[in-house]
Chain A
Amino acid sequence: MNMELALQTFFEESNELLQDMEAILLEVDYSTITGEQLNALFRTMHTIKGSAGLFGLDAIVLFAHQVENALDLLRAGALSLDDTLAGLLLRCHDHVKSLLEATRQETAAPIAAGTPLLAELAALLPAEPETPEASVQPQQPTGHQVQRWLVSLRFGPDMLRNGMDPASFINYLHTMGQVERIQALTVNLPSAEHFDPETHYLRYELLFHSDCSQQQLCDAFEFVQDDSQILICLASEAERHFATLCATLCTAEAEALHQVWRDFGLFPAAKPASVAEVIPSISQSPRAGRTADNLFIKVEAHKIDSLINLIGELVIAGAATNLLARRAADPQLREATEVMAELVEQVRAGTLSMRMVQIGEVFQRFVRATHDVSRELHKSIQLHISGAETELDKAMVDKVGDPLMHLLRNAIDHGIETADTRRQAGKSSDGHVWLNAYHESSSVVIEVADDGAGLNADKILRKALERGLVSPAETLSESEVFKLIFEPGFSTAEQITDISGRGVGMDVVKKNIEQLHGSIEIDSILDQGTTFRIRLPLTLAIIDGLLVQVGQSTFVLPLEAVIECHELPASQTPSAKRDYFDLRGEILPLLDLAAFLEQPASHHARRNLVVVRAGIDKAALVVDALLGEFQTVIKPLGQLFRHLKAVSGSTILGSGEVALILDIPSLIHSACLQEAAELYSGNQPQYRGATSAQMTEPGGKNNEE
């Protein structure tokens, strides 16, 4: 019953429709567009117009009406879709979107911006009567002939509560034609205390004269289609639909309906209704193709958030119970708590999956962006999307959009060369950009790749030297050089365009990704292309952790980063000097957590090694004891601890103790730095692009022995 809520629904619906419209305009091949797609296109604007009318949003109605007219001509074949028209329609789409946004924000609608668009549309419209094709459309569903329709409306019970009134729809019908008869049926109104003043109980039968098509009439009710039973058919054919309609009704309603239809003169031959032909009529609804929508329930985000919060508490409480049960040494109690833990785990997974949305939603925006950017730059770009169905936490999907957009624009602007340059390099003149998403262990990887010029390591290094970002004495591997482009204020663009290259951006991209606990890598081959690879955790709320003990404190390592655990070989007590660990021939940097975290020296006779990974980097961490797996609800750290590099959050253990969650990428970074520092102090200038194995094999072994 709340108008605000209804408006909210209207905005959401309209935005979805606008997305549909955009998708169709961008995806179709103009020459092979199907009637169905044209219909869908028409329906988007038509529905927006209709719904906007219900809310009295005249500015939107007026504008949408003109667009709808153009789309109607398109549908009728009087106009054909080409680059210019698609461009105009896209701009109209943008204008409707900005009108909607202005309404939502309650700011002044930018109506003036639509005037030139209206002029362009108007230029298309009057051409119609002269166009020969328009008259030779024998099977046009939009026959402009007035017909007598039966409109049977059984709106859903929640309609009033949702802020809509049947009277508005009937008023709207009055704008589309003439209502000959209208009869409301009140048989469903319950008596006594069963009556709820906010529930809708009525049924409306109308005889209606209009030149609109069945489709257009159905579209008028698109807004309430999902929970209403609506039949619109020619009055002369109504009789055939009676049986189907009655099949879903109670006897009283069916009898009343029969009475009304008889009054309307819809049963000419006084034939008993029961022998009427059974024709599936309701399933002919225009949105039959969207029935999948009905499988979804829209839930307010904060409800899920508070549920997830509760699950988090449940996980902690469960862990406490487990701990107590283990101490009590009562096998039955233990068994019971284990079953509980299993269920909690399932509930947790289920709840988190509710927050998961497909990343395709974000990718869709890029189709349009590519289209616009490539036009502006006069480059022909083909965008290839794969893995759009990969699921990611909703909060992440929202936040990853901007950095991705930036990378994409960069790829098109700086990555892809001009058509001439490409031809000279022996490439196809069309540039290709790939957006790819996939799951890898418990993270999501999103790649933005192009087949452009690639990153020029020498140029980047020169620039970095100029700006004093690196000292000439430093030797950097290629990947380290690439990482320099993420430094603040670094831009190699020779030509600064509108799209990108203002010298801000890549550092912001990196910061954004890191805020999501993600990481970003670059692969680039000169003249062949560049790939940016973003790795994100699946969710921000709860992780599986490995509980480890270091000194007197307990820490959590995200389980997704842990590869394996080992006992620290007695021969390999970490020395203060260079540390490494030989894992079956693979040499890994070794980091003693106790020393690194400045914990008091431990008295454990046996210590353990945890091999961890972040991206492609691996390291071995020395811990005192492994305490087992633990589901961890991440609690953010306060402002005070913001500068702590290697800690990403905290959690509360079953025992009530606080444990810090360690940030693996920065730990590995530290391990590498420490090693590098020792290398340099040891006066062993080496190109670190070589694998660590080559680097440590000869010297390292000798040191140990």
Chain B
Amino acid sequence: MTETLAIPSELTIYQAPALHQALAAALQSSTALQLNLSQTSELDTAAIQVLIWAQREAQRLGKPLSIVEPNACVLGFLSLTGLSSALRFGEAQS
């Protein structure tokens, strides 16, 4: 079953280490993972790097990880920094 990981609304370097740990642990324990970015209000490069890393790790480990419902804040940041193609977004499942 797909586990939805709680993502804080602020995603910055202050949260990045915790997010990194949480994702690393979740990738080990769950079979499938879903990250919902609809509530994100603040984002920075450090957090984006963690998300990119998580997506690559999931692929490497063969575990489905989908990042869903990016809001305008997330999409705006990705397009500003030229990272639009670096993250793939999936369809939300409940």
Contacts and interface: CB of A to CB of B under 8 A. Distances in A.
Interface of A: 1, 160-161, 165-167, 170-171, 181-184, 186, 189, 191-192, 195, 197-198, 200-202, 204-206
Contacts of A189: 49, 52-53, 56
Interface stretch (B10-18, B30-38, B66-74): B10-18
A197 B57 contact: no
B27 to A, nearest CB: 10
Contacts of A192: 57, 60
Contacts of B19: 197
12 contacts: A160-B13, A165-B45, A165-B46, A166-B45, A182-B81, A184-B82, A189-B53, A195-B50, A197-B46, A198-B13, A204-B81, A205-B82
Which residue of A183, A195, A197 has the most chain B CB atoms within 10 A of its CB atom? A197
Nearest to A195: B53
B63 interface: no
Given A165-B45, A167-B45, A195-B53, A184 B16 contact: no
A205 B82 CA distance: 8
A181 B45 CA distance: 18
Given A171-B80, A184-B83, A160 B17 contact: no
Given A167-B77, A182-B81, A191-B56, A202 B49 contact: yes
Contact of B45 (A160, A191, A205, A206): A160
B77 A186 contact: no
B81 to A, nearest CB: 5
A256 to B, nearest CB: 12
Contacts of B14: 1
Interface in B1-41: 13-14, 16-17, 19-20
Contacts of B92: none
B82 A183 contact: yes
Contact of A197 (B49, B60, B80, B83): B49
A551 B81 CA distance: 78
B52 A186 contact: yes
B75 interface: no
Given A1-B46, A189-B52, A197-B17, 10 more contacts: A160-B45, A167-B44, A167-B45, A167-B80, A182-B81, A186-B83, A195-B20, A197-B16, A198-B16, A198-B46
A201 B16 CA distance: 14
Contact of B13 (A1, A171, A182): A1
B5 to A, nearest CB: 15
A165 B80 CA distance: 12
A200 B16 CA distance: 12
B44 A165 contact: yes
Interface of B: 13-14, 16-17, 19-20, 44-46, 49-50, 52-53, 56-57, 60, 77, 80-83, 86
A190 to B, nearest CB: 8
Contacts of B52: 186, 189
Contacts of A160: 13, 44-46
Interface pairs A-B: 9 shortest CB-CB = A182-B82, A197-B20, A197-B16, A184-B82, A183-B82, A184-B83, A160-B46, A1-B13, A195-B53
Contacts of A165: 13, 44-46
A206 B46 CA distance: 20
Helix, strand, loop or mixed for chain B's interface? helix
Contact of A170 (B49, B57, B81): B81
Nearest to A192: B57
A63 to B, nearest CB: 28
A206 B79 CA distance: 12
A195 B49 CA distance: 9
Contacts of B20: 195, 197
Given A1-B14, A167-B80, A201 B44 contact: no
Contacts of B82: 181-184, 204-206
A161 to B, nearest CB: 8
Contact of A201 (B17, B49, B77, B81): B49
Contacts of A201: 49
A242 to B, nearest CB: 19
Contacts of A202: 45, 49, 81, 83
A202 B52 CA distance: 11
Nearest to B21: A197
Nearest to B44: A165
A200 B77 CA distance: 16
Nearest to B54: A195
Nearest to A182: B82
A228 to B, nearest CB: 14
Nearest to A193: B24
B54 to A, nearest CB: 9
Given A160-B13, A195-B20, A186 B44 contact: no
A192 to B, nearest CB: 7
Which residue of A166, A195, A206 has the most chain B CB atoms within 10 A of its CB atom? A195
Contacts of A183: 82
Given A167-B77, A171-B80, A198-B17, A186 B86 contact: yes
Contacts of A191: 53, 56-57, 60
A205 B86 CA distance: 14
A206 B77 CA distance: 15
A570 B54 CA distance: 89
A202 B50 CA distance: 12
A200 B57 contact: no
Nearest to B20: A197
A197 B45 contact: no
A198 to B, nearest CB: 6
B73 to A, nearest CB: 12
Contacts of A182: 80-82
Contacts of B81: 166-167, 170, 182, 184, 202, 204
A189 B50 CA distance: 9
A193 to B, nearest CB: 8
B55 to A, nearest CB: 10
Nearest to A161: B13
A160 B15 CA distance: 13
Nearest to B12: A165
A160 B14 CA distance: 10
A202 B83 CA distance: 10
A191 B50 CA distance: 11
A171 B56 CA distance: 27
B78 to A, nearest CB: 9
B65 to A, nearest CB: 14
Contacts of A184: 81-83, 86
Contacts of A181: 82
Contacts of A204: 81-82
Contacts of B44: 160, 165, 167
A680 B47 CA distance: 84
